[in-house]
Amino acid sequence: MSEATRVEPHTPSPCDAALDYVYGELTGEALTAFEAHMTSCARCQAEVASFGRVRSVVRAALPALDVPTASQPMGSLHTQLLAAAAQRKPPAKVLSFPSRFRKFVTQPVFAMAATFLLVAGTVTTLWKKGALTTAKQESAAPSTPAVAATPKETPAPIVALPEATTVQPELAKNQPAKAVAEPPVLATEKQHEGPQKHYKADKDDSLAALQPKLEGGRAMAPPKPAKPALARKGAVVGGDNLADMVLEGNGTSSSTASPSTGEQRYRARLEPAKEESGGKDRTVDKWQARTDAPTTVVKPPPAAPAPPPTVAEAEKAEKKKAEAPGYAGGMLNRDGVQSQSRGAKSSEPMPAQQQMASRPQGSSLGAGGGEAPAAPRHAAADQRGGVAAAPMAKPAAPQPDAANLDGKAAKREETAAAADRNVADLRKKAMDLAHQGRCNEADELFKKLEHQYPMYRRNMTETMAVTHCRTQTGQFDAAQYEIDNLKTTKTQNNEVITREQDYLNNERARRVPAMPQSATPPSAPTATPAPAPMESPSHNMSPPAPMRAGKKAKKAAPAAASDAYSN
């Protein structure tokens, strides 16, 4: 092509506008300037003339042709074209942002901010749902194998328990860093709460899904709900906690030779279940039993299990224990109140080790006399330090780990201690009133105690004091009612009851003849060595005494029944 070889004019020349002039594209000053230039430029004049001739010939040679018939408005091609145009679907209307907003939205900064918000929202949502917690637990997973390996270090009898429960104390000892990271709690609390966390993580799993984990040595928790109060109590008194279960399953003869009522009833319930299960793994059965009765101590069968006692045997043992000399049946001290509280939550009797722990120090049975099992006495110590069969002089003494109680546990402890102090004060005051012969006031205080502390029951000393007071003040019916209760429940030595009954009879015989003579209180009870009665004789002779006795009878029956288990 020739135009490719020619050099394009770089500097605009007036002659370059000749083409524009021919085609009429020059306007204004450009047109004027070119016309002025063309008058003096022969070349431009010749070029314009030649181009004009060519154009005229071309116009004559290339007339505008009409389109063919097919493309006419009624033609086939035209129809097809319009049909194709009609088939096109208009686009869906899209709301268009204002140009200013669109400019803002399309900024990279806006995209980055939107991305950040999206990621942050996602992370927050996952965090709230707990999905990230799972990741956190998975990150701590390397510590789990070490825990799983610990069962080999535990004593052999522990195998009878769920492995998770036996492993936890070792876990607490072998992981000091974790103990620092978590709030300081008692070892028993860790024992309860640690598995509980695991259980929460896997709470959706079925029992069958959890069983392999238990058997595999993983620290799995039983489905028993966490009860911090119980855990604390277990730590203090060495009663119902997992460490006790471990120790009692540790082949101690006392545990097997002298089972407590709780053990007996547990076995009575567990053995049929085992038989029904076809002798499969006992761990699972026990675990299921714990599921059914969360407050019941899951006591594993010993290595050489004794024949399971029946319920009748358990009740017989209970009666023998109640008849033992010095047995303070029904005399519930502070610990007894707590034990009774637990017993009230569940229909199951309180386990023997807890009964032992709940007895006041210095009790006649505290030194291992009678049929009380000795193993639970060192349960708490063994649980913490793993020292087996260490004698525990003070079972109710606070544990060294109590210093590590968190705020909540400490608060609970303080509340319980304050309640105990109040109970002790009221009891002391009531006893003083009874000794002074102010039986009504003493009764009121005892009622107040029972009202404010529902699990409180008068112990034997208090009952005897009230009975003696009522006898002295002439409330013979009320005194007789108390003595009858003592005889019914058989919670007191027959000799003591007989002595009190004789005293009542003597007083009644001495005073009854004089009663009809005066309806007013005796002005000078010279014959009575006891202090003057504070109550009016009319009150003594009035029917309210049997009514009161009836009211008390309603309370006494369940109280006596519960005392039989709680002592």
Partner 1 sequence: MLRYRDGDVRAFEVLVQRHRKAIFNFVLRFVRDTAVAEDMMQETFLRLVKSADAYERQAKFTTWLYTIARNLCVDQSRRQKHRRAQSLDAPVGDDDGAALIEMVADPSNMGQDRKAISRELAGKMQKAIAALPDEQREIFLLREVSDLQFNEIAEIVGVPENTVKSRMRYALEKLREALEEYRDLAQAAQS
Report, in Å, the least distance between residue 131 CB and partner 1. 44
Question: Smaller CB distance to partner 1: residue 7 or 524?
Answer: 7
CA separation for the pair 80, 409 (Å, rounded): 89
Q: How many CB atoms lie within 10 A of CB 438?
A: 20
Q: Residue 428 has which token pair? A: 């002391």
60: left (phi over 0), alpha (psi -120 to 50) or beta: alpha
Residues 6+ apart with CB under 8 A from 12: none
391 by Cβ neighbours in 10 Å (0-12 / 13-18 / 19+) ranks as exposed
What single-letter amino acid sits at 316?
Answer: K
Handedness of CA 204, 205, 206, 207 (dihedral sign): negative
Report, in Å, the least distance between residue 111 CB and partner 1. 24
Among residues 249, 210, 461, 450, the alpha carbon closest in space to that of 360 is found at 461
Query: Could you list the residues that contact partner 1 (CB under 8 A)?
Result: 1-3, 8, 16, 19-20, 23, 25, 50-51, 53-71, 73, 77-78, 80-82, 84-86, 88, 90-91
Question: Smaller CB distance to partner 1: residue 19 or 532?
Answer: 19
Question: Smaller CB distance to partner 1: residue 58 or 109?
Answer: 58
Question: Smaller CB distance to partner 1: residue 99 or 523?
Answer: 99
CA separation for the pair 165, 220 (Å, rounded): 8
365 with 372: CB under 8 angstroms? yes
Report, in Å, the least distance between residue 3 CB and partner 1. 5
Question: Smaller CB distance to partner 1: residue 47 or 371?
Answer: 47
Question: Smaller CB distance to partner 1: residue 86 or 524?
Answer: 86
Question: Smaller CB distance to partner 1: residue 37 or 548?
Answer: 37
Report, in Å, the least distance between residue 39 CB and partner 1. 21
Q: Residue 210 has which token pair? A: 């959890």
Report, in Å, the least distance between residue 93 CB and partner 1. 9
Report, in Å, the least distance between residue 57 CB and partner 1. 6
Report, in Å, the least distance between residue 42 CB and partner 1. 17
Question: Smaller CB distance to partner 1: residue 81 or 519?
Answer: 81
CA separation for the pair 24, 52 (Å, rounded): 11
Helix, coil or strand: residue 206: coil
Report, in Å, the least distance between residue 85 CB and partner 1. 4
Q: How many CB atoms lie within 10 A of CB 357?
A: 27
